[in-house]
Chain A
Amino acid sequence: MELLNAIFVKPFADMAAAPDFLLQVLWEGLVGGVLYALIALGFVLIYKSSRIFNFAQGIMVVFAALTLVGLYEMGVPALLALPLTLGVMLLLAISIERVVLRPLVNQPDIILFMATIGITLFLIGLGEIIFGGENKVMITEQLGIPTGSILFEPFGGFVSIEEKDLTAVIGAGILVASLLVFLNKSKIGRAIRALGDDHQAALSVGISLSTIWVIVWFIAGVIALATGIVWGARAGVSFALEVIAYKALPVLMLGGLESVMGAIIGGLAIGILEKLFEIYWGQPLLGGNTEAWFAYVLALMVLLFRPQGLFGERIIERV
């Protein structure tokens, strides 16, 4: 009875008793969710266009953020470092396509997946050799991102919203919107979707596989840089950031591996739900730190009912 009360009644009573705190929790969850959605988007883009489950997305976030901060520390002005970092990401996309993907065309999925883990390890080593393994501070102010915080006072309490989080949410929204327009309206976007539908048909109408792959990996790199700036501003830039890749995987499961919409909705849902669960159930009942697995268990539950995720393409099997 005590336990049932603690599970089913008390958390909701707590929520009702302190609505301002609930709002704060929801906001934090939303910001986290935006980040998950961004990383998941990087995954989805690459998976859609090449059926590669790109494990390196997480390390690309770290690598992009490190390059940005590293360049700034070498004396490059912040606003120049940004395009330079984009250049580095483009270079990375080209070399990954040349060195890794091109020789591995048509290999089974698991081989390509392993290759991206290889890329991950390589980039970890390379990043540590070039930039050092220590924690760095993201150059938030130098990039012109406001760092203050806004206080709201609803329900007689207060909710504080950091301006950089707000900028992140708005920026991510703009990025995602422009990406959707790009994918749906531009010629290259159509080519990307065509490749996703059928490689051979796309090749036969003259779409260049390697060019599209470079473009897709570059877009994933841009998303990685955006994620890196936002997440780095919150938690500092270090290789520990890599773990957010693991947070994005359940988002993919929940939303479906091929669905851009699924990545966004799944990301926001997981961000908010895991925060709520951690604060109201995890910490009082389970000793905290449930964020490590909550998203996975949630996604697993959903998958048991929909094996292709909420928005994934229906899996049709033929013998």
Chain B
Amino acid sequence: MLYRTAGQFKISYKADHALFPVRQDAYLLGFVLLLAFVVFPLTASEFTFRALLIPVLIYSLAALGLNILTGYAGQLSLGTGAFMGVGAYACYKLLTIFPEMNIVIAIAMSGFFSAAVGVLFGLPSLRIKGFYLAIATLAAQFFLVWLFQKWAWLYNYNASGAIQVPNIDMFGITVAGPRATAMTQYYFVLGVVSVITLFAINITRGRIGRMWKAVRDMDIAAELVGINLMRAKLTAFFVSSYIVGVSGALFVFLWRGAAEANLFDIPLSFRVLFIAIIGGLGSILGNYLGAILIVALPVIVSTVPATFGIPIDSAMVEHLNVMIVGALIITFLIVEPHGLARFWAVIREKLILWPFPH
């Protein structure tokens, strides 16, 4: 009833392969975009922006990058955090060397640095598979974080060893740095994330995306039908690291404001991996659902007991949080190994048929 697809006839292949073959999907997306672009900015407080909305967007972007590599091309990576770091440090150096550069261009370019590093560390994937490859990506993780610490040029020889985001203007509006308002930053991040998501949707449903999926499902079979494995795997590493690098640049410039090398250490990689897995590997929507869950969870855990009047100290909250995230991951994997995106797919199927059982 609510989601009736009856009567929406496709009379050409083009219409059948449209971005939204079902009209209700487009309406729903329109509604979500309306929420994101108009309703949230009108109603959200500074705290909501900084603690929920901006991190959700940035983490979903990082998870989207990882999902392209792991969910679409089937190459498990545990080095996401370090590639985010490459993006962040590249953006920082670009803006140091060319202070006049527009921040959008700097962020877009910093993605290429991370993509280059990603391809370099993706080269072993041509020979190594499965968990061996996962551990090999850890080599990137540890080596790069070590480099961020030891290569003082990267952080402009600061005594603190941290990178600090200066005030950056774009068309007369401060978008990054301590003077920027949360709402401008939110719009900035939202814009970047929307553009990249559109790009990701289209690349994954096109020829390249199908090539990746073939490699994921069985790489030898893919090779036999004429897919160039090297090209498939390396493009996956390139696109994935590009998106991850951009998300890293946003992470530092539009959200954290400052960063030390150990921020990009392995917990960050795992957090992004959780988002991708809980959201659903091989889906774009899942990244957003997963990010909402993982970002909102600590906030919920810290506020819910307080509203019920149960006193709970902050250290306890942190520990409980870790525990609950762990338990949730296990629960989700048991209940629905294909993630939240699959939940939505099931609900959607039900809605299309509702109120009939078949």
Contact = CB atoms under 8 A, between A and B. Distances in A.
- Choose among A110, A111, A307 the residue with the greatest number of B CB atoms under 10 Å from its CB: A110
B143 A104 contact: no
A303 interface: yes
A59 to B, nearest CB: 10
A292 B136 CA distance: 14
B132 interface: yes
Contacts of B220: 317, 319
Contact of A125 (B128, B326, B333): B326
Contacts of B3: none
- Main SS of the interface on chain A? helix
Contacts of B281: 110
B170 interface: no
Given A104-B334, A286-B150, A117 B270 contact: yes
Interface size class of A (residues with CB under 8 A): 35 or more
Contact of A118 (B76, B320, B327): B327
A283 to B, nearest CB: 12
Interface centre among A120, A253, A257 (most CB of B within 10 A): A253
B326 A319 contact: no
A125 B138 contact: no
Contacts, number: 136
B337 A128 contact: no
B124 A303 contact: yes
Contacts of A129: 316, 319-320, 323
Interface string B316-358: 1001111111111110011001000000000000000000000
A123 interface: yes
A1 interface: no
A13 interface: no
Interface string A76-108: 000000000000000000000001100110011
A297 B322 contact: no
A122 B328 CA distance: 9
A63 interface: no
B303 to A, nearest CB: 18
Contact of B127 (A120, A123, A303): A303
Interface string A111-129: 1011101111111111011
B266 interface: yes
B218 interface: yes
Contacts of A309: 132
Contact of B136 (A111, A123, A303): A303
A319 B139 contact: no
B76 A125 contact: no
Contacts of A292: 142-143, 145-146
B315 interface: yes
Contact of B329 (A109, A115, A246, A297): A115
22 contacts: A53-B134, A100-B330, A100-B334, A110-B277, A117-B329, A119-B326, A121-B325, A122-B327, A124-B322, A124-B323, A125-B320, A125-B323, A125-B324, A129-B319, A246-B266, A287-B150, A293-B139, A299-B136, A303-B128, A304-B127, A307-B132, A308-B132
Interface of A: 53, 99-100, 103-104, 107-111, 113-115, 117-126, 128-129, 133, 246, 249-250, 252-253, 257, 286-287, 289-290, 292-293, 296-297, 299-300, 303-304, 307-309, 315, 317, 319
Closest 5 CB pairs of A and B: A125-B323, A121-B326, A122-B326, A296-B139, A118-B329
